Amino acid sequence: MKTIFRMFPMLLIFANSLRLSAENETDSIYKKEINRYSIYATAGFFPIYAIANGNFEVKLSSKPRTMAHYIGLKTSVGYWESMLSTGQQVGLGLATLSGKKANHLEVYAGITSILDTEQYQRHLDYPDNFPNQQPVYFKNYVYFWPAFSLGYRYQKPQKPIIFRTGLGYPDAVYVSLGYSFN
């Protein structure tokens, strides 16, 4: 019994030293943060649909010891094309990253505005083909849809190169390459 009482303080000291070394290790992982600004180009494809856009992202929050350690405001501007139509796209939303060091799970949610320029121009050029003879308004060809994506992002803390890939809307199956800076 005396042996147990003698070993107990030694076990406490040993456990405390393990805890301190683990804290120092995690602190060194989180000392470097992801750069504040990111610019990247995205190309997305699906069997009858393609999109190309430019993105700009600003870091809003960074909490290193949480699951979603990065929250950023992302805006995108691009061009889309399908078998039946073409147009422009503008998006705005929040991106979150989780993961340590260079490998991250990226989740994005926001809203996108899609302009169907081909249908608009077709209606102007051939008004007789449209049964409801209403006046042609540009605003009738702008649509708002939810935007979302789930993907992988390779970005080392305080390093400039960004590589992204994943699945989402309006980006479809996408690949991105970009640059980050402070």
Q: Are strands 49-62 and 37-46 parallel, antiparallel or unpaired?
A: antiparallel
pTM over 0.85: no
Q: Are 23 and 29 in contact (CB under 8 A)?
A: no
Most confident residue range from 4-18, 19-33, 149-163: 149-163
Distance CA 151, CA 139 (A): 33
Model pLDDT, residue 147: 96
For residue 158, list its beta bridge partners: none
DSSP state for residue 129 in the 8-state scheme: G
pLDDT tens per residue across span 103-127: 999 999 999 999 998 888 888 888 7
pLDDT tens per residue across span 157-182: 889 999 999 999 999 999 999 999 99
Taking Cα atoms as reference points, which of 164, 160, 173, 137 lies closest to residue 36? 160
- Angle (CA) 41-51-147 rounded to 5° is 85
Model pLDDT, residue 120: 85
Which two structure tokens, joined as six digits, stand for 82?
A: 């399908």
Dihedral sign, Cα of residue 170, residue 176, residue 178, residue 182 = positive
